[in-house]
Structure 1
């Protein structure tokens, strides 16, 4: 998350009341509407159907599709490759129990409307609304829309974040690790405990893979990629991951 951008959005949001009407789809064939207030916290909008779902057409520029969110084991609709990448990022760095896309339409007090990109229920019960926009495309108009959305979320009690993209190498590494999210790549518990016990200091990637699987280094590498995806261990994501990449225990990991 871009901390400076969010500080600017929060500051700008103070100009707006947060008064709005929120409309969502509990099912594909039903709609509900309510004022933006704290009663919406009990409406479970993170389980709503996508409020809009454009149809594909020849030579379309957006990359529509479904992202498999590994934490919830569900497919989540996205309207662009950038949205898919940011879902992948959330899947990797956050602890999420439910997530959906285009969860609602917000009709602001001035009559303008906005459909946020994502809404998630985090494992700590925090409900968070997300908008996704590359930094280069955040205009003054978009910034005002984000500020209005922030004001609404503050009034309801939702968290709000704008995801503006990742550095190229971080995105490349994350896309690679995502290939190894499936539990079939998981090492045996004993092997994971052995690795964590050995990581009293950072170890080279190939050394860590050998600890996981002394007889089959290829399996050890796949298992290590899986543990990196789960954040059981960690590495510098700003550099290309290779055999010399240093691997260390994550702070929350237990041997």
Structure 2
């Protein structure tokens, strides 16, 4: 909410010269704090403005919150580390968990790229999908389960689609090979 102090001539002069509100804006904020009985104001740490937007905010199944930054650990520079530390401190003050996750495993990325090729609904054949879910009700090797249902050439695209949609599960951080153990998502 703007007040008459936001249009103070000093503020407009500083804003016109630097593009930033400057000290006049801070004086106006201080007046507002005094009127509303604010007890404390957290300013920029070490007097330096710091801006950082974490990559993800997740609500976990237990109801807690997780703030996550994703950066390959070998690419974190000192300035990044300072931003991560400030985010970790802010999250701790708010009762949130904060983590910096490294780069995903190459095998996981390769498997996800492969399965992404089967994400389109055209790969969902309802009868074959139902037969695959029944075949993998007991954990079974990928190719063995596909062969139980029919010709692997016709069945594997549906199986990969179900893996992409997480209707079937396997360890994606291991190579997706014919003996990879696949099971239903409920198991």
Q: Bin the TM-score by the shorter chain.
A: 0.5 to 0.7
TM-score, length of structure 2 as denominator length: 0.59
SS of the residue corresponding to residue 118 of structure 2 reads coil
SS of the residue corresponding to residue 160 of structure 1 reads strand
Pick from 143, 150, 168 the counterpart of residue 88 of structure 2.
Answer: 150
C-alpha distance after superposition, 1:29-72 (max 9, x if no partner): xxxxxxxxxxxxxxxxxxxxxxxxxxxxxxxxxxxxxxxxxxxx
Pick from 86, 89, 114 the counterpart of residue 176 of structure 1.
Answer: 114
CA deviation after TM superposition for structure 1 residue 108, in Å: 4.2
Pick from 165, 168, 179 the counterpart of residue 233 of structure 1.
Answer: 168
Please give the residue correspondences for 1:13-24 in structure 2 after superposition, counting only pairs within 5 Å. none
C-alpha distance after superposition, 1:178-219 (max 9, x if no partner): 22223332341x54443333335432322323345x2x5333
Name the residue aligned to 1:253: 186
Q: Distance in 2 between matches of 1:200 and 1:112?
A: 55
Residues 186, 163 of structure 1: alpha-carbon distance in 2 compared, 3 angstrom cutoff: farther
Pick from 41, 55, 63 the counterpart of residue 118 of structure 1.
Answer: 55
Gapped regions of structure 2 (runs ≥ 5): 1-42
Residues 202, 118 of structure 1: alpha-carbon distance in 2 compared, 3 angstrom cutoff: same
CA RMSD of aligned residues (A): 3.1
SS of the residue corresponding to residue 100 of structure 2 reads strand
Corresponding pairs, count: 143
TM-score, length of structure 1 as denominator length: 0.46
Residues 226, 246 of structure 1: alpha-carbon distance in 2 compared, 3 angstrom cutoff: same
Q: Distance in 1 between matches of 2:117 and 2:75?
A: 29
Name the residue aligned to 1:102: none
Residues 210, 187 of structure 1: alpha-carbon distance in 2 compared, 3 angstrom cutoff: farther
CA deviation after TM superposition for structure 1 residue 118, in Å: 2.2
Q: Which has the larger radius of gyration?
A: 2
Residues 161, 186 of structure 1: alpha-carbon distance in 2 compared, 3 angstrom cutoff: farther
Runs of 4+ in 1 over 6 A off after TM superposition: none
Please give the residue correspondences for 1:30-179 in structure 2 after superposition, counting only pairs within 5 Å. 108-110=44-46, 111-122=48-59, 124=61, 128-179=66-117
SS of the residue corresponding to residue 69 of structure 2 reads strand
Residues 218, 158 of structure 1: alpha-carbon distance in 2 compared, 3 angstrom cutoff: farther
C-alpha distance after superposition, 1:94-134 (max 9, x if no partner): xxxxxxxxxxxxx8433241322423454857654332211
Larger fraction in helix? 2
SS of the residue corresponding to residue 113 of structure 1 reads coil
